[in-house]
Chain A
Amino acid sequence: MGTLRERVIFWYGCNAVRHGDIIHSAIELLRAVGIDSDPAGGPAYCCGTAKDGNLAAAAGMAARTVEKFNASGRDKVVTWCPSCHRHAGTFMEGVNPAKFEVSHIIEMLHARRHLLAPRLTHAVERRVVLHVHSGFHEVDAYPLVADLLRLIPGLELVVADFAAPGHMCSALAAVPAALKDVQRQSVAFCATHGSDTLVTAFHACQRLLCGLATTDGIKVVNYVNLLVEAMGLTPPPDEYAEWKNAGSEAAIMEKIGAERIAKIGPEFFAKQMLPELRKLPEKQ
């Protein structure tokens, strides 16, 4: 008898598109646990949470996104981004009547881990540290991610004994000293536990920590890519991290390639993207 499959919208949010590898791996994992997804994300599906200073924009974005989900005919939306998940359960739910329920992907994968476990047949011989935040109180995400990672043969997991403030590292970006403290604590914790790999649960932590490969020799990987690797598949390359750790503007541009840079416009790339890609975590 075949597994009963479910079809959902996989709402990956806006900023996660910097990490195409994470989104593609997440879709693969949902498929592995019997969930076919209609992916939806980018600014066209913004929840509006970044627009606290412009309520007309926030309201319009939230309304359009809920309208599109309502019109899809799907009765379940699976979130990736903690900001979207939080906003959906508060400001969006309080204003826009929804014809769907919202779950987080970590809950979905954890609830179906009996389907995932038999697929995790390839050993990943590595000692890793799970990077933890305190702020995503709507979902007790980190114990669930730890459970999923413990299904991977060969993987030694150490869970960080400190929870960084915020729901993701991006919340700390406005307080650079706090972000630096979290980066330094993470490096020190890895060293104490003999690990050279930090595992993130969310895209914004991946974005703001992946430069530790250059500054401290710490490889930063998202949990979905470890699970995909354990399935015997080759995870999509973490191109954002490759660019961030390329070492120079010329090396970044060589890795991306002239054709892709031309697609978005060289001037925009140089002014709006290169500075972000060149920015690395601060050392002491």
Chain B
Amino acid sequence: MKTETEQLLGYIERNIARTLADCTTCGKCFEACPMTQYSDKLKGKSGSEVVAGIRGILEGTGGTPEALEWTRLCTQSARCIPACPENVNPMLMMRLSRITSLGSTGGPAMLADGKRDPNFFRRINAFSALQFSDAEIAEWQR
């Protein structure tokens, strides 16, 4: 029986395999991305080359600095989805790249995890305590 984590990892690996099988590195997703303008590292870069770097991250061969930068900048705008001629979901591809780059699939961590904040959930609970009654918290949030 697989653990919950192994099952999630399996789901991620299946989606990485599907993405790698379908993506032709045409670079249309990169060209459609509204976030590349926010990085000097990405200005004027070739979409095909940056996406090849994303494939490298997903394949576990390390990717490129540009691919890591694009992964860091992805805000899930979804503009890449209709841009893909191969019906890959590039937004999911970028999420998989992020998960891999954070070291979650067993490889080295190549990106800092900005969401690793020990007070993330404590703050949420504290804001909740300010605005919800004890009864609501007991009934709705436990």
| Residues of A participating in the B interface, judged by any CB pair closer than 8 Å | 14-15, 17-21, 38-46, 50-56, 58-60, 62-63, 86, 90-91, 94-95, 134-137, 165-167, 171-172, 174-175, 177-178, 239-240, 256, 260, 263-265, 268-269, 272-273, 276
Q: Is B125's beta carbon under 8 Å from chain A?
A: yes
Q: B115 touching A52 by the CB < 8 A rule?
A: yes
B66 to chain A: closest CB distance in Å? 16
Per-residue CB contact flags for chain B residues 1-30 toward chain A (1 = under 8 Å, else 0) read 001110111111011000000000000000
Provide a sorted-by-A list of 25 A–B residue pairs whose CB atoms are within 8 angstroms: A15-B124, A20-B132, A38-B140, A40-B140, A42-B141, A43-B124, A43-B125, A52-B98, A53-B104, A54-B116, A55-B12, A86-B76, A94-B14, A95-B10, A137-B81, A137-B91, A165-B77, A175-B75, A177-B38, A178-B38, A264-B129, A268-B126, A272-B119, A273-B126, A276-B123
In this complex, what residue of B is CB-closest to A261? B130
A271 to chain B: closest CB distance in Å? 8
Q: B127 touching A171 by the CB < 8 A rule?
A: no
On chain A, the residues within 8 Å of B3 by CB distance are 59
On chain B, the residues within 8 Å of A21 by CB distance are 131
Number of residues of chain B lying within 8 A (CB) of chain A: 56
On chain B, the residues within 8 Å of A59 by CB distance are 3-5, 7-8
B22 to chain A: closest CB distance in Å? 16
Q: A167 touching B4 by the CB < 8 A rule?
A: no
- Bound complex: CA of A15 vs CA of B137, how far in Å? 14
Tell me whether A95 and B7 are in contact in the complex, defined as CB-CB below 8 angstroms, given that A52-B98, A268-B126 are known contacts.
yes
Q: Is B128's beta carbon under 8 Å from chain A?
A: yes
Q: Is B83's beta carbon under 8 Å from chain A?
A: no
Q: B11 touching A91 by the CB < 8 A rule?
A: yes
- Bound complex: CA of A219 vs CA of B15, how far in Å? 43
Q: B141 touching A62 by the CB < 8 A rule?
A: no
In this complex, what residue of A is CB-closest to B100? A52
In this complex, what residue of A is CB-closest to B124? A14
Tell me whether A174 and B72 are in contact in the complex, defined as CB-CB below 8 angstroms, given that A42-B141, A165-B34 are known contacts.
yes
- Sorted nearest first, the 6 A-B pairs with minimum C-beta distance are A20-B131, A42-B141, A53-B113, A165-B77, A166-B75, A59-B4
In this complex, what residue of A is CB-closest to B104? A55
In this complex, what residue of A is CB-closest to B79? A134
On chain A, the residues within 8 Å of B12 by CB distance are 55, 91
- Bound complex: CA of A172 vs CA of B12, how far in Å? 24
Q: B125 touching A42 by the CB < 8 A rule?
A: yes
On chain B, the residues within 8 Å of A55 by CB distance are 5, 8-9, 12, 99, 104-105
- Bound complex: CA of A19 vs CA of B35, how far in Å? 28
